[in-house]
């Protein structure tokens, strides 16, 4: 048994800066691509961190779920969709995959839908800048159980020593009456080197656990604290630079959405054709990292 990606969805349109809208659109697109009805989604997980107006309550997953039109029926015998936020920075999507796999293995849900994405809380911009280094976008991974020998292997996680590397907070001493539109992001000098170390360690653990040594057939999709980070990580792992796949980074780092955005782009461009596996590696504040090896279906180039 395995857990495979049934379909992906993305949203980067400029008509809104709301992460609720972007993630809702991505979720709906993934269902439409897969031909899956909303009532077939048993669990809905939001891994995004930076949200509209620094919303704290209710859970943003519930707002996105409503925007996507999933699980809104309330009759006695109507199917239920359980939703929740799972926030662990850039590592959150792979943490959500880990949770989804456990749920799907029990047979208690037909599909699990993971959404991710971030926006500046002011809702006034989509591109990253020196003060807020994350681009606005929404992405979705629709997952299902399969009896075929494809899909995600075990998700490996690790934490590095020392300071967190990246910290984000609302400065209550200066927020005044506009705190819902502010966010301070502090990146420590050399944080990318720290992330590289823990990411490489975790990636090697995922490869070793799967007994996978054919790196020539392996695509690397990794976090992008910088545009060069995935290529540098690939070199460390022994994966060819031309086997690295990234999201569109023209507006900056998509942060929690980068893994599904990169996978979606690679499928759309049919760039998996010569490969059998994808190594997903996420790294972010903590410092922390997660990695999982994904075995592609035979028809990997078929749009998801």
Residue 171 lies in a domain: yes
Kindly tell me if the per-residue pLDDT of 300 is higher than 50.
Answer: no
Domain range for 74 is: 2-149
Residues 21 and 124 placed together within one structural domain of the fold: yes
Average pLDDT, the chain: 91
Domain count, the chain: 2
Residue 100 lies in a domain: yes
CA-to-CA distance for 30 and 126, rounded, in angstroms? 22
Which residue among 122, 149, 176 closes a domain? 149
Kindly tell me if the per-residue pLDDT of 232 is higher than 80.
Answer: yes
Within 13 Å and on the Cβ side, how many CA atoms surround 45?
A: 25
The b/e string for 110-142 (b: 16+ C-beta within 10 A; e otherwise) is bbbbbbbbbbbbbbeebebeeebbbbbbbbbbb
Residue 300 lies in a domain: no
Kindly tell me if the per-residue pLDDT of 94 is higher than 80.
Answer: yes
Residues 222 and 114 placed together within one structural domain of the fold: no
Cα dihedral 281, 265, 146, 302 in deg (nearest 10): -150
Q: What is the CATH number of the domain that holds 42?
A: 3.40.47.10
Residues 140 and 196 placed together within one structural domain of the fold: no
Judge if pTM exceeds 0.85.
yes
What is the structure's pLDDT at 303?
Answer: 39
| Percent of the chain predicted with pLDDT > 90 | 71
Averaged pLDDT for residues 160-182? 80
Which residue among 105, 131, 149 closes a domain? 149
Which residue among 121, 149, 177 closes a domain? 149
Residue 301 lies in a domain: no
Task: Give the model confidence (pLDDT) of 110-139 as tens digits.
Answer: 999 999 999 999 999 889 988 899 999 999
């Amino acid at each position: 048994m395995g857990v495979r990606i049934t379909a992906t969805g993305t949203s980067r349109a400029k008509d809104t800066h709301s992460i609720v809208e972007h993630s809702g659109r991505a979720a709906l697109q993934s269902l439409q691509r897969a031909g899956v009805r909303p009532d077939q989604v048993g669990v809905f997980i939001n891994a995004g961190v930076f949200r509209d107006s620094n919303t704290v309550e209710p859970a943003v997953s519930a707002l996105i779920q409503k925007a996507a039109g999933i699980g809104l029926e309330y009759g006695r015998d109507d199917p239920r969709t359980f939703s929740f936020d799972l926030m662990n920075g850039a590592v959150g999507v792979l943490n959500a995959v880990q949770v989804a796999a456990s749920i799907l293995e029990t047979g208690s849900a037909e599909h699990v839908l993971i959404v991710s994405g971030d926006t500046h809380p002011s809702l006034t911009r989509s591109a990253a800048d020196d003060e807020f280094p994350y681009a606005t976008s929404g992405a979705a991974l629709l997952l299902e159980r399969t009896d075929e020998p494809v899909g995600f292997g075990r998700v490996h996680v690790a934490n590095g020593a020392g300071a967190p590397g990246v910290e984000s907070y609302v400065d209550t001493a200066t927020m005044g009456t506009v705190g819902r539109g502010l966010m301070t992001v502090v990146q420590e000098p050399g944080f990318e080197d720290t992330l590289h170390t823990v990411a490489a360690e975790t990636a090697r653990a995922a490869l070793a656990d799967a007994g996978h040594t054919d790196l020539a057939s392996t695509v690397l999709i990794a976090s992008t604290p910088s545009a060069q980070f995935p290529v540098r990580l690939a070199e460390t792992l022994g994966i060819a630079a031309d086997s690295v796949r990234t999201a569109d980074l023209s507006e900056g780092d998509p942060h929690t959405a980068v893994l599904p955005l990169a996978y979606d782009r690679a499928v759309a461009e049919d760039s998996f054709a010569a490969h059998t596996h994808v190594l997903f590696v996420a790294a972010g504040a903590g410092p922390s990292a997660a990695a999982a090896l994904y075995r592609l279906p035979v028809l990997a180039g078929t749009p998801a």
